[in-house]
Structure 1
């Protein structure tokens, strides 16, 4: 078997083929990823683009697009012998790492600061619901 020779850029043909395949997937495959992924069946936690209306008294509203945590995490219960007779493991998709961004709201009254600060998700994970970062529902 003959050894593989390096191409013009010093890469073997196999390495070059892998690089070209990866480049095509990144350029073209990224546009079809959302259509391939069935979000109704997605289990996990991910950063996803989210738009909301930023408002506060004395100012006009502003539509803001940010990154937020989104997803469903696996939960389970296990029967135990002592009350309450169930050991619950309820995990939620929650913020693990964030940064803060500030925008200026329009049409604010002279006595109102137009600054509006909101979190931008950098990393999200399935975990215990922490009321310091997430609105947790404890009963229905």
Structure 2
């Protein structure tokens, strides 16, 4: 029975990975993603722009997810113990595209990271937008 249960969990994880990687959008996958805790590579589209050039829609892989976070009160300052992890890039590669309609003298090159592997980890301001205090 344990082997059967383990196989079912593995199939569920494979199914979720396929949905995340392929960007499948169905009502069922939206419900699963709302409950998903973890970090995964997922397809993402954004508009690349820079002064002097036209914009270009780029589809790439980026990190996406929610990681376990908790806080508890303690008796010593700062009176709270935090465990805050974020979905962050573990491995990337750089890609470069040429933006259209650049004015003379403007380099049309636009570089961006492509996520190869993502994990829950500490927030590093070198790769991730982190809120450190309010």
- 2: CA distance, partners of 1:70 / 1:138: 20
Gaps of 5+ in 1: 1-21
C-alpha displacement of 1:137: 1.8
Work out which of the residue numbers 117, 132, 136 in structure 1 matches 2:126. 132
Q: TM-score, with normalisation over the residues of structure 2?
A: 0.77
Whether 1:88 and 2:82 are equivalent positions in the alignment is yes
Q: State the match for 1:5 in structure 2.
A: none
The one-character-per-residue Cα deviations of 1:68-94 (angstroms, maximum 9, x if unpaired) are 000000101122221111110111000
Work out which of the residue numbers 40, 45, 49 in structure 2 matches 1:51. 45
Computing the radius of gyration from Cα coordinates, the structure with the larger value is 1
C-alpha displacement of 1:138: 2.3
Find the residue that maps to 2:35 and give its secondary structure.
coil
Shift >3 Å, 4+ stretches = 33-37
Bigger helix fraction: 2
Q: State the match for 2:65 in structure 1.
A: 71
Q: TM-score, with normalisation over the residues of structure 1?
A: 0.74
Whether 1:105 and 2:99 are equivalent positions in the alignment is yes
Whether 1:40 and 2:34 are equivalent positions in the alignment is yes
Gaps of 5+ in 2: 1-10
Report how many aligned residue pairs link the two structures.
112
